[in-house]
Amino acid sequence: MSKPVVLVHPPLPIFEPQLKDYEVVHWPTDRADAVVTIGSVGVTNEMIERNPRLRAIVCFGVGVDGVDLAFCKARSVAVSHGRDINHEDVADVAMGLIIATARSFSQGERVLRAGEWKPPLAVPPQRRLRGRKLGIVGMGAIGQAIAARAEPFGLEVRWTGPRRKPDVKQPYESDLIALARWADILAIAARGEKSTERIIDARVIDALGDDGLLVNISRGSVVDENALITALKAGKLGGAGLDVFATEPTPPERWRDVPNVTLTPHLGGGTREALIMGTTNVLENLRRHFAGEELLTPLEM
């Protein structure tokens, strides 16, 4: 009896040995029964069309911005994702970037490594974190986890999103520009999708101001990266902490002369625990699909 054919895209050498019950193929192929992918990479509509037997797309992580959900729905292709797996880990990185950016960790390390540490202060003094105002863009699981971490640090929190949420205690602000104008720090936790592309544009950055800090742990597509770099170079934004980028891997030369920025290579959800849970989730969704059962974590389309 032949095994079900699973297209793994992009190739995931560390994960693929777990798929011993399936025949693993890579793109290009026209034989796939299901796809395993990273949501930010996803699969193109051409790939779906080229595989007429394809009936399930199983994504690592909560994001599915690399998948055309309307196209899948029209072709009866089920999509699952990894909700409630790594949001706490991503929020940890967000809080780390807030602290690192606010207190100039990256600048301080460069000064130290270059042998330029001259007491009493290696870097210009920064404002303390306690008492500052944090605006959160997107109050899903990650946004709420950031808020939970921020308040013990003495940060005042407000948020914005498409709609109010009655179970969220922090004050809601419907206008993104108004939130940026109010905030000292703006943390981006919005979904990466068409509706959020470059919503953090030059107007928002200008409203945040030359003492403001921007932290992004959602998707690089949410921020107008060129506008951000221009503002940082011109001193029109106080600093930025980024774990995600418009193009990944981001070219290092793009950031070589950009001041007051802390960069990490999209490591937000990359804990051992999250990877184990994510693998288990993917395998169970695959098993259920081929057994004709309801998916464990289906995405409503």
| Extents of the domains making up the chain | 5-85+271-291, 87-263
CA 83 centroid distance within chain:
13
Contact between 101 and 215 under an 8 Å Cβ cutoff? The reply is: yes
Q: State what percent of residues in the chain have pLDDT above 90.
A: 93
φ, ψ at 102 (rounded to 5°): -65, -35
Of how many residues is the chain composed?
A: 301
Q: Tell whether the model's pLDDT for residue 301 goes beyond 80.
A: no
Q: Is the peptide bond before 17 cis (omega within 30 degrees of 0)?
A: no
pTM, full prediction: 0.92
Contacts of 228 (CB under 8 A, 6+ apart): 200, 205, 214, 237, 240
Rounded to whole angstroms, the Cα distance separating 42 from 59 reads: 8
Q: Tell whether the model's pLDDT for residue 39 goes beyond 90.
A: no
φ, ψ at 9 (rounded to 5°): -140, 120
Average pLDDT rounded to a whole number, residues 266-280: 95
Rounded to whole angstroms, the Cα distance separating 4 from 14 reads: 20
Angle, CA 143 vertex, CA 137 and CA 146 arms, to 5°: 115
Q: Tell whether the model's pLDDT for residue 203 goes beyond 80.
A: yes
Across 261-278, b (16+ Cβ under 10 Å) vs e yields: bbebebebbbbeebbeeb
Q: What angle separates helix 87-102 from helix 105-113, to the nearest 10 degrees? A: 60
Q: Which residues are catalytic?
A: 219, 248, 266
- The reply to whether 87-263 shares the fold of 5-85+271-291 is yes
Which of 3.90.1150.10, 3.30.1340.10, 3.40.50.720, 3.30.300.30 would CATH assign to domain 5-85+271-291? 3.40.50.720
pLDDT for the residue numbered 61: 85
The fold for domain 87-263 equals Rossmann fold (3.40.50)
